[in-house]
Structures are given as structure tokens and as C-alpha cells.
Amino acid sequence: MQDEKDAVTLTEEEQYREFKRIKRMDEAKASVLKIECDCLSPYTDKTSLKETCKTADTLAIGAIIVFPNYVKACVNALGKDPQVSLIAAVSYPFGEETTEVKAAAVKRAVKDGVDEVEVCAPTAFLRDGNLAYFKKECKKIKKAAKNSAVRVTLDCSILNEKELYKAAVTAADAGINCLRLNGADGETVAKIKAAVKGKCLIKAEKADSATSFAALCTMGADTVSCTQALNLAQYILKQAESE
């Protein structure tokens, strides 16, 4: 009789441990979905990108960000029904091209198969306070993207707090889906998150560890771009499995 009770208790303990493990893994997978692999290096090549695509898809991270000329290669590498999104970075890093050139690049990227486009804002115009130009550009880019989501990149290392705030609110009001805040710390992420009032998502960048990644998410980042995204995702999943 006692053996039967012990067997029941052991089974319950095993079930509880499995429940906890599944919960940890679900939380880890949710965190991994917030990770985006930034492949915007001048040293990036098609061979390495193909491997990155395969690994990123297996890990089910949030997205891969590439230059427009690599979109087709990545679409082919990911194949049908990938688990990871593909994003094209247009006019990187300072947004110096004209709106017409950006719109043409967006149209081409969408035609080539991207899920979203990430377009750098015209930094010089924002520093001059020309928000009317920026607002028109946001609307033209959204039109060029058709049904694909549009992100706008703001350079927080160049724009001062007032310029950044106005640009973020203008983009959010123009219907931009997400703001990528290059060079932003956690405090800046939190301030811009509050400023846009839920009208768009916020993306931070350059988390170099699980700790910094978690900190940026806590401060309001919906996604975080990392150059070591695959290693970070593998670490988070492994930790959840081993606990």
C-alpha cells in the first residue's frame, strides 16, 4: 500500500517538473521571438547568410535583417513557411537617399519577398527640424510597402532628445509599425515607448548578453537587434532546458 502511495507521489512530482519545464521553455521561446539577427555588416556574404538563415529558422528567432541585395538569396535559403521573418534594411545607416529612391528600394524588397522593411529616417532633415518632409516620407514608404510592415530607424547617437522625441511621435502618427532606436540606452527606450503611446512597437539594438537583452525588454523594447543573436537565442533555450 505504501509503495502505491510513493508511486503516485513520484508521478505527481514528475508531472510537476515536466509542467515547470514546459513553462520555462515557453517563456524562453517567447524571449527568443524578440531577438533579431542583424546581418548589416560589410563582411556579410551569401554563404554565411544561408547558414544564418537555416540556424535562425531552426531556433525560431524573431527576424533576420539584411541589405536589400541579399533578400532573394535569403528567401531561397529559408524556403517555404519559415519560422523567422525576413527584413530588408533600406537606406542604412543615415537615410541620406531621397524619398523616391527609398520608395523604389522598398517596392523591390517587397517584390523579392521580404516580410518587413526597415527604412532609415533622413537624419539631416530631422536635425533641421523638417518634420513635414519626414512625415511625407513615412506615408510614401508605407504606400510603397503595400501590405508589408514598415519600420523606421532613428539614430539616437546623432539626434538630441528633443529631435528624437518629435521624430518618434511623427512616425507613430504617420502609421509606422515599429521604430528602431539605434544607439539608445534603456532609459531612452522607455521614454520613446511612453511618447508613442502604443501606436507602434519599439526596437532596441546591440544587446551583448542575456542580461542586457532582458534589461532592454524590461525598459519597453518589443524586439532587440543583436549581432550575436543566434548565440544569445541558443543560450536562452539551453538555460531553460537545463534548469
Closest CA to 36 of 162, 188, 202, 170: 202
Alpha helices, H only, 37-177: 46-59, 71-78, 99-112, 123-127, 131-145, 161-173
Overall domain count for the chain? 1
Q: Which domain holds residue 182?
A: 2-242
- C-alpha angle 137/199/68, rounded to 5°? 45
Domain CATH code at residue 237: 3.20.20.70
Tell me how far CA of residue 64 lies from CA of 68, 92, 214, in angstroms. 12, 15, 19
pTM (whole model) above 0.75: yes
Cβ atoms of 111 and 140 within 8 Å: the answer is no
Per-block mean pLDDT, blocks of 10 residues, the chain (243 long) = 52 84 92 96 91 97 96 96 97 94 98 98 96 98 97 96 98 98 96 97 92 95 92 94 78
Note the pLDDT of residue 108: 98
**Helix crossing, 99-112 with 71-78: angle to 10°?**
20
Q: Which residues pair with 119 in a beta bridge?
A: 90, 152
Note the pLDDT of residue 17: 83
Note the pLDDT of residue 53: 97
